[in-house]
Structure 1
Amino acid sequence: MKIHPLSDVASSSIGEGTTIWQFSVVLAGARIGKDCNLCAHTFVENDVVLGDRVTIKNGVYLWDGITIDDDVFIGPCVAFTNDKFPRSKQYPNSFPKIYIQEGASIGANATILPGITVGKNAMVGAGSVVTKDVPEKAVVVGNPAKVIRYIEA
């Protein structure tokens, strides 16, 4: 495990071979698997679980309620949201969960709304706004994101 000295990592649940780069913050309750790569300027809240071999590129913030399975790629500046009706200083009792299944990839600057599941081996195109669950092996693009094809094999 390699943790850059300019990061702030409070979690003790970080797998072997994981690298956390500078200016990253990982809160105490976060669980991060083996051989992951968290690039610079990332933030991981307490109720976040990352599987093994996950890549989180620069400028990604993972809020409470996000689970990311093994072998997932999250591109730069992907925006995860966890509050359907955000108001200043008004917090829901619980946040809808976001689940990114094994092998999925999410392109740069995509937005994932609360309560979404991105299916196994699916691909979300850069800049897409995901408002509905993404089926397994689907490629989705646009605002709102729509299936344009399915990945074979």
Structure 2
Amino acid sequence: MSVFIHPLSDVKTKKIGKNTRVWQFSVILEQATIGENCNICAHTLIENDVVVGNNVTIKSGVFLWDGIYIEDDVFIGPNATFTNDKKPKSKHYPDQFLSTLIEKGASIGANATILPNLKIGQYSLVGAGAVVTKDIPPFSIVAGNPAKVIGQVQRD
């Protein structure tokens, strides 16, 4: 299977891996890199300085701003929110946006908020609605506002 890009999406990048699907009303800017076998659902935005690994699912309502890096096998739930500026002001932009790394196999629940300049550890699980204000250790389950470790992920 080749790349599927819905005709109602606006995809400028050429760096999209095979078997990836991009659904309607999605915008992907020119310098973004998208891996193989990804599913990018409707109503998403991916800026230029974004890398999405292989086998990643990005559900509807997710915006990936410059500086967001996602490794392989990651799930991002609907309306999860990422930020890349700790002190945003209208018409005042930093020289470089802060970056966030989502490591291999992590899952982020619906409506979670991820503050900038953090690392979400491999195979960790961020609960729905959690507000992540600090790094999440690998294999951790976090929930709440601010997100706190409430358990450990067991690998299958």
- TM-score, with length taken from structure 1: 0.99
Partner of 2:49: 47
Quick one: distance in 2 between partners of 1:151 and 1:34? 26
Cα distance in 1 for partners of 2:81, 2:145 equals 14
Pairs within 5 Å for 1:80-95:
80-95=82-97
Aligned to 2:80: 78
What are the equivalent positions in structure 2 for 1:105-120 lying under 5 Å apart?
Answer: 105-120=107-122
> What does residue 29 of structure 2 align with?
27
Over the aligned positions, Cα root-mean-square deviation in angstroms equals 0.5
Runs of 4+ residues over 3 Å off in structure 1: none
Q: Percent identity?
A: 61
Kindly indicate whether residue 10 of structure 2 is the aligned counterpart of residue 8 of structure 1.
yes
Alpha-carbon distance between aligned partners in 2 of 1:57 and 1:42, rounded to the nearest angstrom:
8
Structure 2, unaligned stretches of length 5 or more? Answer: none
Deviation for aligned residue 1:62: 0.2
2:139 aligned with 1:144, yes or no? no
Separation in 1, partners of 2:154, 2:112? 23
Which amino acid in the other structure matches residue 24 of structure 2? Q
Q: CA deviation at 1:151?
A: 1.5
1:152, CA displacement in angstroms? 2.7
Distance 2:154 2:128 in 1: 20
Equivalent position SS for 1:99? strand
Structure 2 residue aligned with 1:135, among 134, 137, 156?
137
